[in-house]
Amino acid sequence: MNRHIKLLLQRALINILILLGAFTVQTCVFPLLPMFSAVPNLLLILTFSFGFIYGRKTGMLCGLAAGVLMDLFYTGPFGFYCLIFLYIGFFNGIFNKYYYNDFIQLPLILCAVNELIYNFYIYVLRFLVRGKLDIGYYFMNIVLPEMVFSLIFTLFLYRVFLGANKRLDVIEDKRGTNVA
């Protein structure tokens, strides 16, 4: 049992480091690159990927952590980002039963749908309630470029998350703790 807890903590630590790295790159590195007109939402990619790969509980935990980071570093009511990331982690965890190692089409579809839901949530609760009704401008100049960049980054990051998951599974299998 002690070995199982150690491996579980190791997996959790790796996931936390990935989350912090994604947050740092998204908020500190990408805005400094002048070639990007939009920034891919790495936390969204991470949340839906973890939900899709590991299931609802892990997706929700990742979403909660990503939401807390966003709420701590951005203005607005606390819990604004927690709520949307929590739901994204949960709903993508439902698709865990369709998870296959080399199946990239579903993660790309999930990325596009999640980007639309996330940005619609932002639009309704940040802009529409203040009377800013130009959804066409918002979609063409903010949503669409972010979605394109997120889809491109999903092609690479999903493979990285999948590879890390496979390596951790191999380590757990060698030690005899992964029963599934």
**Which CATH number covers residue 132?**
1.10.1760.20
If one counts every other C-beta atom within 10 angstroms of the C-beta of residue 152, the result is 12
Q: Work out how many domains the chain is built from and give that number.
A: 1
User: Is 180 part of any domain?
Assistant: no
**Which stretches does DSSP call E strand in the chain?**
none
Tokens 């990927």 belong to 49
pLDDT digits (tens, 9 = 90+) for 50-85: 998 888 999 999 999 999 999 998 877 888 999 999
For 55-93, give the secondary structure using H, E and C.
CHHHHHHHHHHHHHHHHHHCCCCCCHHHHHHHHHHHHHH
User: Is 151 part of any domain?
Assistant: yes
Q: Write out the residue range of the structural domain in which residue 162 sits.
A: 2-175
Nearest to 2 by CA among 12, 10, 179: 10
pLDDT digits (tens, 9 = 90+) for 100-127: 666 788 889 999 999 999 999 999 988 8
Predicted local distance difference test score (pLDDT) of residue 176: 59
pTM (global) more than 0.75 = yes
pLDDT digits (tens, 9 = 90+) for 136-178: 888 888 899 899 999 999 988 888 888 877 787 777 777 655 5
User: Is 69 part of any domain?
Assistant: yes
